[in-house]
Chain A
Amino acid sequence: MGVIVSGAPHFRRNRTTKGIMLDVLIALVPATVAGFVYFGWRAVFTVALSLVASVGTEVIWLLCRKKSLKEIVSQFDFTSCVTGLLLALTMPAFEYKYFYIPILSAVFAVGVAKMFFGGTGKNIVNPAIAGRVFAFISFQSAMVSGWMVPQFASLSGINAVSSATPLTAMLGDGLGAVGVSNLDLFLGTGVMGCIGETCKLALLVGFVYLIVRKVIKWQWPVIYVAVTGLLSCALGKSMGYFLPSILSGGLLLGAIFMATDYVTTPNTKLGNLIYFAALGVLTGIFRAVSGGEVVSYCILLMNVTVPLIDRFIIPRPFGYEKKEKVKKEAR
């Protein structure tokens, strides 16, 4: 079982890593189903390969570490399922000839980013993010041009942007080039994108479920998204950028499901505030500079800074009272 490190006081609850991971999986169901509906069998294919490869990598690794199959089954905590599913949701629905991309990325995500560092709870970066970045720099052509137009047409009747995702179009040519309405972006109709990031409604349903189950705190994703949106407005010098910038690309998926990963976030409230605000700032700036989607890179970058944040922001011990400052008497 993974150990969750947090500031004092420590409460005991009947929550296990397994239970939390199951909740995350349930919260991802709407987005996954939406992806299947929008992108069809190719999405199912990508998700299935990624899941099988993730779980397979973990099992094979544990077998190599001389654990018995029985032990592995009883200790299985679904983290590799979450990794595999999240990884697939951040990828486009691949053509069948690209079968190796989800497999290799999942092997990299679970094998290198998680198991090499000691398994569940010990990874420095979010494995799914590492897997996506690996896929992105390794198979750039397939990851960038492999976009598929969803099976549902845009509600506003505009043809889907055929060459670039709405985000890259907006970053490149300004607001007018988005090509789809905010409602389209919200529902994902007629919008090209990764399997899981297209339908924002489904992601928000998952978000609400996670809040109700108290798996994550609602403030953190909201801070991340809001900072990114406001910064985009500031850089674009128009409030009209707010909705398109938060509704396009992988921002919501990243903010809700990936940036909030327990293992790779700071332990303290102040630390989290810094972490999520910095994520928003980085995403806003890098999007404007690079003209592409950068959420995964930003999360990866901030993941690495977490130990540093934890080192400098030390939680106040429970019951500790601030000493009143005593003025030095003049001699």
Chain B
Amino acid sequence: MAKAKETTLRCVTTLAVIAVVCALLLSVLNSVLYVSATPDDLIGLYSAVDGYEWEVVDVNDDQPYSGGKVILVAKGTMDGKDDYLGLLVQTEKNGKLNESTYAMFINMNTDALEYAAFVTEGATGGFNWQYAKEHSKSGDQVSTGATALTGLLSGDKSNSQAAWREWESFYGVITDQTALDYTDAVPAKTGATRTVTATYDAFNIVARYYYDNFVKGE
């Protein structure tokens, strides 16, 4: 009996030691091998900025945002064309939804948010953003954010700036519930609802970031 206990103890200890050593090794290597975002990640996503030169701007992380963080800000320039700001936003892991990365492109001359795209999707099922847009309950955009988005997408500087300001005050208004309404017509897919939430988080973060760093001071 004592012998058996001893063996069990030895088995458990060995496994535990191996597991701890492996975990330590991996966490050290994880920080060494961490792949940080580069402006290369912005290339090939939006056709209007093909051939742009991207220059990294330091991320201003004075203010924490809920739901995720800006991981890359880059300014894109090209002779004779409008300047663009490219941002990568990584949203937090949310239950079964893994971290998602979004790229957003803002035309700095008109202040319009022109394009947003997935870089990595956290949902396993693959989320059809276009489908969600076409089948959402309240037409093209969820109602709460509609005014703001119309302004943002208008391409007119004063409209856009007004929209950014308004969006700033909207912050927190677009909640999980509105996201849920939005996905009502979307076929069930793993993580679809959370993808929508994450997407709104990403928009909110970009709006707040852009407002804080580029609009507010003007």
* Touch test A–B (CB under 8 Å): no
**Residues of A near any B CB (own CB < 8 A):** none
